[in-house]
Structures are given as C-alpha cells and as structure tokens.
Structure 1
Amino acid sequence: MPVISLFSGSYCNEKQVLREIGVQTGYRMISDEQIVDQASRLSHIPENRIARVFSDKTSVFNRLTRDRERSLAYLRLALAKTLSEDDLLISGFAGQLIARDIHHVLRVCLIADMDSRVAAAAGELKISQPDALKRIHREDEKCAAWMHMIFDVNDPWRASLYDISFPTDKTASEKIAEIIEKSIAASVIKLAGRSRQAVDDFTVAAHVEIALVEKGHTVGIDVREGAVTLTINKHVLRLNRLETELKGIAGQLPGVTSVETRVGPGYYQTDVYRRQDFEAPSKILLVDDEKKYVQTLSRRLMMRELESAVVYDGESALELAREDEPDVMILDLRMPGIDGIEVLRRVKQTHPAIEVIVLTSQGSEADKKICLELGAFAFLSKSVDIDALSKTIKAANEKIRKMQAGRKANQTDG
C-alpha cells in the first residue's frame, strides 16, 4: 500500500488536515518525534541531539564530531525500518529524507497565503501581526535550510518537490483528505517491484552510511539493486588507501552485492578529506577573556590533534553549553561578568556530564577547594606544560567515554 509523506508550512492548518486524512484513510500517523525516538534507540544518541538536525543552526563542534552526519544516517535507518510497514502517514521534516525513487510514496505539501498564516499565528499565540510575521519567517527559514540541505533548492514549497500541493486557506481539510484518498487508490503509486527494490536499496544505503560514519568517513552513497557506489568529494593524499578502506567497510554489510568508488566534482577543490577519530577528545571548549592567550592555546592543542572551539566570556560559555554541550570545558577563573567559579557552578547544575578543567594564573588554594567541591575535573595553573594539559584533557575524555559506555550497556540490558 502507498505511504503518504506530508510537509507543511507553519500555521497552515496541518493538525486538522492530518486528522481528516487519518479518518478517511485509516493510515497510522508517524511524527518526527517517533522517527527521532527510533533513531535514538538505534544509535544511543540523545533525542535532542538528533532532533537538532532539523534546525538550520549547525553545532560549532560538528566538524569535529560529525553529529549531524551521524544523526542523519540513523534517521534514514529509522525511516527505512518504518517503510517496511504499510498504510503510513509520515508528517514533518524526517519524511523528506525518503529516497525519491521510492515511488509508492505520495508526497504532499500544505501551504497557505501569508496573510492567512499571519492571522492564524496571531490568533493562536495572542501576539501582534508583525511578531507573528517574524515568527513565520523564522520557521520558513528553518524549512528552507532543511530542503536546501537535502535537495539543494532554496524554496521549500517548490511544486516540483511534491506530488500534490494544497493551499489550505482555500481548500477545506475534508476536501484535501478526499483528494488524497483518491490519489493513493491510483495504481501508479502502488508498492510495485521497482519501488520495493528502492526501499531495500534505501535500507542498504542507510546501513552503509552508518557503518562509514561510525568509522569517521563521510562520502556520497548510492545503491542500485545492492550495488554500492561511494563518491569521494574531498581531496585525499592516499586515494587508493582510502578506497580500499571504504570498500572493506561497506563490502561486508548484508545486502551489498558490490562496491565501487569514484571521485566527485568536490575532489578537485582545496578542501582535504579527513577521517574523524571518535576516540579522540572531540568537543573541547576553551573559555578565557585573554584572547591572544586562548587563541595561542587552541593552536598548540591543535598541534597535538586536540581541536577546540573558543569563547571569551562566561555568558557565551553558558549559552554554548546549553546549545552544544561540550565534552570538556577548559575554564579561566577570573573573567569580567560571570566569573569562572559561577560558570562552573551553573554548568555542573545543568550539564553535570561536562568535565571542567579550571586553568588560571590567579587561583588560590581556597579557589581550588571550591572548584573541586563544585565538581571540577582538575585545577591547573596557566603555566602548566602543554603536554601535561593535553594528558589531563585526554583523561577527562576517557572518563566521559567510560560513562557513555556504561549508559549504553544499561540501555542494552534494559
């Protein structure tokens, strides 16, 4: 039976339309939250981190962690498992990840005139129309970023992306559901052999993507009847060695009949391919108002393969902790505004898993006692040898990895 994938602009009567489609078709509704939940259970990545891929804001640590790529891979696997069932109504962002050659999916768009959307938002949220317009524009930007990432188009409501588009300010919910019900009865979108093969290939591609990304590789993946083509879009010094490694990883997976590699257009650009080492400390945040010092420290750590992000005040550190949750924070004690002790206190209250290393040139024994009691991993002088600091960072990272492994083991046992 066909699957319905529905993508809607905000304040376009989506909830009512979904209810009507459910009533008329009897299809089971699948939301982004359900897909994210399944992806989280498959990957052991927290749901909030997976759901972040729907945002148009990428983590400052993503180039180090590949969280976005890993989350997308597991979302595709969750979708692939979902598509093994029939009679589904998949609404939201995740449904747009379904491969376009899966032909038994009816792709539906809901959109409305901006005046109608503004009026709906202002009435529902009890806000002014200018504020409602700003909110809608912000949400449309999020939709545009998502569709640009997937389809390389700037207009998320472009008609060519969908089988049917409905202006919800001009079409009643009941009528929309009636048209959709008639459409899914058409033989053209039945689950025929070619579409079933496309689902199987989508599943294989998801498993290949996960296997590669978990080994630190990010390449283009195409699967046709089990034959896998991997596209390398960044320059690499030892191409043959990389191709052999990629083939070795993908070739052992179930459903893969063959693996070929090729270089894409991006291969000849200046960007260099880099395999991510997930065992290395990856999300290091340096917090210090002495810009020259902290920038130099960041470069010295990079020479020891410890890359980091940098902020220059306590407020920025707390904001980044909320949004990106670094693994290790290296924190100056004396800063204008929110000082290091207060940052440490708040971080440990809200994100206790972050390991904080206090690095100061002005700390007393009393300061050290307070910081350790608040949960700091270590209290060091800025005169500390860079290799000793690197060793401390790696020790903090090892503590984090052991705790994460313990949580995974408990989830598996549960």
Structure 2
Amino acid sequence: MSIASFFTATYCLSGQVIDAVCRALGAEKAGDGPLIERAAALSGLGADKIARAIYEKTSVFNKFSHEREKAVAYLKIALGERLKADPLVLDGFCGLLVGKTISHVMKVAVTADVKFRVRQYLADKGGSEKDALRALHKDDEARILWAEYLTKRDPWNPELHDILLPMDKMGVDEAAAIVVDNLSKIVVAPTSESLAAVDDFILAARVEAALAEKGHTVGVAAKRGVVYVTINKHVLLLAKLEEELKRIAAKVPGVSTVETKVGADFYQADVYRPVNFELPSKVLLVDDEREFVQTLSDRLQMRDMGSTVVFDGEQALEFLRDEEPDVMVLDLKMPGIDGMEVLRRVKREHPSIEVIILTGHGSEKDRLACMDAGAFAYLQKPVDIEKLSDTMRQAYEKVRGRS
C-alpha cells in the first residue's frame, strides 16, 4: 500500500486532516517520537540529542563533532525500518528524509496563510495576536532550518512535496479526500523498484552511520548492494581517504561493492576533517583577553580539538542556553560576572560540563574555592599547551565515562 508522509505547519488543522486520512485508510500514524527513540537506541546518542538534530539549529560545535550528521544517519535507518510497515501515515519532520526513489511514499504539505493560523492559535491558546505571531515564527523557524539543512530549499518548495494543501482555502474533509484519492492512483502504487529503494535507503543509511562512527561525513547512496560514497570537501591524501572509506563501508552487511568519487564541492576552500572521537570536540573557551583566547582556540584546533570562544561570563551563560559543551576552559578574573560565579552556575545548571579554570591572577585560596565548587582542574597562566591539552583530554574522558 502507498504511504502518505505529512510535513505540516502548526495551527492549520493539519492534525484533523491526518486523523481523517488515517481513519479512511485504517492506517497507523507514525510521528517523529518513535523514530527518535529508535535512532537513540541504535546510535547510543541520547534521545534529546537526536531531537535537537531535528528541531534546533546546527550547533556551533557540529563542524568539529559531526553529531548532527550521525544523528540523521541513524534517523534514516529508523525511518527506513518503519517504511516497511503497512499501512502507514507519517507525520513529522522525518518525512523530508525520504528520497524520491521511494516513489510509493506520497509527500503531503499542509499549511495556511498567517491570518488563518493566527485565528487557530487564538482559538486554541488564547492570548494576543502578538503572542500568536511569536509562536508561529518559532515553529516556522524550526521547519525552515530543517529543510535548509537537508535540501537547501524552503520547506514549502513544491519540489519537496507531491501535494500542497492550503487549509485557508479548503475544509478538513476536502483535504483528507484529496490525499486518500491520490493515494489510490497508480503513480504512487508500490512497485518492485520502489520497494527495493527502501532497502537501498536503509543500506545507505547504515553505511553512513558506520562512517560517522569513525568520524567521517560524506554523501552515501546505494543500489542493489553497490554503495556510492561522495567526498564533498577537499582532502590532500585523497587515495588514502578513499581506501579508508571503502574499508569501513565494505564491512557493513549487505554491501557488495563500494565506489568513491569527489563531489561538486570538492574543489571549494573548505577542507575535509574527520572527527577524532578520542579528543574533545565541544570546548567552550571563556576569557576576556581576546587575542589570547583566539590564539588558544586556533592552537587547540590544530590539535584536532574543536573549540569556540566567548569573551565574558555573561556571554558564557547566554551561550549555554542553546549549547552544551563537554569541556569549558574558564578565566577566573573577568569584568561583570566573574569566573567563580560562572563556575557555580554551570555546575548547578549543567553538572555534566567539566570546567577547567585557567587564570593569571589566582591565589591558593581561589584554587581551593574553585575545586570545592566542582572545577575539574585549576591551571595558572601562562600554561604549556601540552599540559592544557592533556588536562582537557582527561576532562573529556570523564565526560565520556558517564555516557
């Protein structure tokens, strides 16, 4: 049976449409939640990390950790497994992962104009029009970021969907009838090719996940056991990388042959960087000495440690509202919110973050106070980069040991 995959705006009666389609088909509705849980079980990543990969903007640390790519690879596996269920109606962000070759999945977009959605919000939630617009903007932003990440397109681009239902121009029954009627058409009927495409989709995702586990982020496609790996960033030792990618991919069950090629972006300025999972890739440096901390960040990145920089305690706490590093290197003496206050709040609100104090003005009393507040280590400037790197590795090992 054909599968309907819904990608919807909020407050446009989409839930009623989907429920009506499920009743008409006698089909089960599958949302993102079970797929997130399955991907978490497969990957060892927490369900919260999988969810963030879908619903939130790409982390500033992702270019070092490749955590989003890993999460998406496992989501694809979970989705591919679910596509084998029948009958089925998909409802959520994950439907955008389905490739065009799986032609028996009919993609349906449900939306409405802003005035209609504001009315629906006010009827459901109450409040003011300003409240409604703020909520709609936040909801839409998540969809825009997800579609941009996956497809480089607007989420409502007609190329991404087979049917677009504008709910400000039709009723629930009419919209559901359009979906049910189109699902019965031969063009979206399952074929041996489209069913085989599901197996190809799963195999490609498993290879993608296997490569991600070894720190590699590349394009992967599969057809009948042949896996095609595309390298989209420049690398100096191309032959060596190709050999490593082939070796990893070939070990995945179901792979008969691995072919590699360079993609259209290979000759751009960006450089291919595999992740070394033995080293911290999510480090936040907090120091008001801008030249020092920028130089430190550069030196750490040369050692394959991913870091980002903020320049005072207030910026650090603001940063932690959206991101959670594994390790923080924190200056003690800063204007405004000082390092001691940042340390206390971090250990209270984000206890999994290991904090290394790095200061040029501390005393023995300060050291004892910091260690008592939960700091992992207390180092004095100027610090040997090898000593700092080793301390960061030890802190990261402690983080990994808890996961």
Q: If the length of structure 1 is used for normalisation, what is the TM-score?
A: 0.92
C-alpha distance in structure 2 between counterparts of 1:346 and 1:85, whole Å:
47
Q: Report deviation, 1:384.
A: 2.9
What is the one-letter code of the residue matched to 1:193? Answer: S
Match of 1:261 in 2: 260
User: Structure 1: which amino acid aligns with 2:344?
Assistant: R
Q: What does residue 7 of structure 1 align with?
A: 7
Q: Offset at 1:258?
A: 1.2
**Are 1:97 and 2:97 an aligned pair?**
yes
Aligned to 1:346: 345
Q: 2 CA distance for matches of 1:163 and 1:46?
A: 33
RMSD: 1.8
Matched residue of 1:266: which SS?
coil
2:269 counterpart of 1:290: no
CA contact (8 A) 2:57 2:145 kept: no
Give the structure 2 partner of residue 409 of structure 1.
none
Code of the residue aligned with 1:112 in structure 2: it is: A
Task: Decide which moves more: 175-184 or 44-53.
Answer: 175-184
Alignment deviations for residues 119-139 of structure 1 (CA, whole Å, 9 cap, x no partner): 222343333324433442443
**1:209 match:** 208
Q: For the residues of structure 2 that align with 1:273 and 1:304, how far apart are their CA atoms?
A: 15
2:391 match: 392
Partners of 1:265 and 1:107 lie apart in 2 by: 28
Q: Distance between the aligned counterparts of 1:361 and 1:142, measured in 2? A: 42
Instruction: Name the SS of the counterpart of 1:329 in structure 2.
Output: strand
Over the matched positions of the two proteins, sequence identity in percent amounts to 48
The residue correspondences of 1:2-151 to structure 2 (distance < 5 A) are: 2-55=2-55, 57-151=57-151
Partner of 2:270: 271
Name the amino acid aligned to 2:341.
E
Alignment match, 2:237: 238
Residue-by-residue CA offset, 1:160-197 (whole Å, 9 max, x unaligned)? 32222212123222232233223323343232211110
Pairwise mapping of residues 164-243 of structure 1 onto structure 2 (< 5 A)? 164-243=163-242
How far is the alpha carbon of 1:317 from its aligned partner?
1.5
| Paired letter, 2:239 | N
Q: Aligned AA for 1:221?
A: V
Q: Is the partner of 1:323 in helix, strand or coil?
A: coil
Structure 2 Cα separation of the partners of residues 123 and 337 of structure 1:
45
Return 87-96 or 264-273, whichever deviates more: 264-273
Give 1:320's aligned residue. 319
What TM-score results when the alignment is normalised by the length of structure 2? 0.94
Residue pair 2:65, 2:306 contacting (<8 A) in 1 also:
no
Query: Residue 87 of structure 1: CA displacement?
Result: 1.2
Number of residue pairs matched? 403
Shift of 1:334: 1.7
Q: Can you list the C-alpha shifts for 1:298-339, whole angstroms capped at 9, x where unaligned?
A: 233334333311111112212323322111101111222222
CA distance in 2, matches of 1:295, 1:201: 45
**What is the match of residue 332 of structure 1?**
331
